Chain A
Amino acid sequence: MIPKYFFDLDGHDPDDTGEDLTDALEARKAAIELLGQVLEDDPMYALQGHWRVTISDRLRRQLYTVSVVVESTATVLGRE
């Protein structure tokens, strides 16, 4: 049986269809690509706090979390 994985974007509806992928590592790769596409589509997405994808297996057990973190550097801002 091909494993199914679910990708839940923080702040959005849970993934209701899932995706058939070879294994958890493929799922992790898919999650990274997904978050990249979402951020490219809407760069403000990361600043709205919705910057995390949680990968679960078909039993909804959480396997990985892929995050994008936006950090400000105080010293750089101070110089501007």
Chain B
Amino acid sequence: MNSNAWTRKLEQVGALNPDDKLLLDKLVTPSWRYRAEEDIIRAGDTPTHVNVILNGWACRYKILRNGQRQILALLLPGDICDLTVFLLRAMDHTIGSLTETTVAKVSPEDILSIIASRPNLTQSLWWSSLQDESVLREWIVGLGRRDAYERTAHLLYEIYLRLKGIGLVDDDSFSLPMTQAQLSDILGLTNVHLNRVLQRMRTENLIVLRGKSMHFPNVALIRAAAAFDPDYLHLKNSD
């Protein structure tokens, strides 16, 4: 796997020409490293760069007055946070690492230059933004209408497909470097409730979870449990 995660993500919607790939390689250097659970940019900060996740997992989140955290989006390698964020005066949420994470910081000038002169790459970037929005819509449906079991299965299967698209799934196994507490903050479940749901999934052979490694013994089974329709990911070739 020679290309960076950003290139691999954008190539899901269509091949990039060699010049565009060279540019993306240039834009992701240098990169910044963050420890696990470290904020990359906080609510209220003025965004000056576009953060691109190269390695590791991050998230968007908000903290409520009672101290509870709600994770609003999962940011995986190749994800951009957000393409035109520099238009905002201040962030309305925080972006923080969940694991050790490597991030590229792309300047507004570079983004605007791409939009002005590289239509092919621009379309891929817009697709990436549209996918972010459609994932958010799907998460709203999950939080509002899916029960804990289906919501959890849906999230795990979505993660599987998103990672598969960037070459990070091997034989239906992938790294899930999150704690159950972090997953609970996405799913809006208590830690204990999530633990029960995962136990049930293990018993039903939907998942094999060993440490931070997730395996789906039967992909069709978890897809059915999630009632998953991949259309919202707008992938060229969904599972």
**Which residues of A are interface residues toward B (Cβ below 8 A)?**
7-9, 12-17, 19, 34, 37-38, 40-42
Partner of B193, one of A15, A37, A40: A15
A15 and B192 contact, CB distance less than 8 A: yes
Contact of A38 with B195 in the complex, beta carbons under 8 Å: yes
State the main secondary structure of chain A at its contact with B.
mixed
Give the residues in chain A near B68, CB-CB below 8 Å. 13
Report the bound CA distance from A15 to B184 in whole Å. Answer: 12
Query: Within B171-196, which residues are at the interface with A (CB < 8 Å)?
Result: 179-181, 190-193, 195-196
CB distance from B75 to the nearest CB of A (A): 20
A42–B190 touching, CB < 8 Å: no
Which residues of chain A are near B181, meaning CB under 8 Å? 12, 42
Partner of B195, one of A8, A14, A34: A34
CA gap between A8 and B190 in the complex, in Å:
10
**Which A-B residue pairs are the 8 nearest by beta carbons?**
A42-B179, A13-B190, A15-B192, A12-B191, A41-B180, A7-B192, A17-B193, A41-B179
Most buried by A among B179, B191, B211: B191
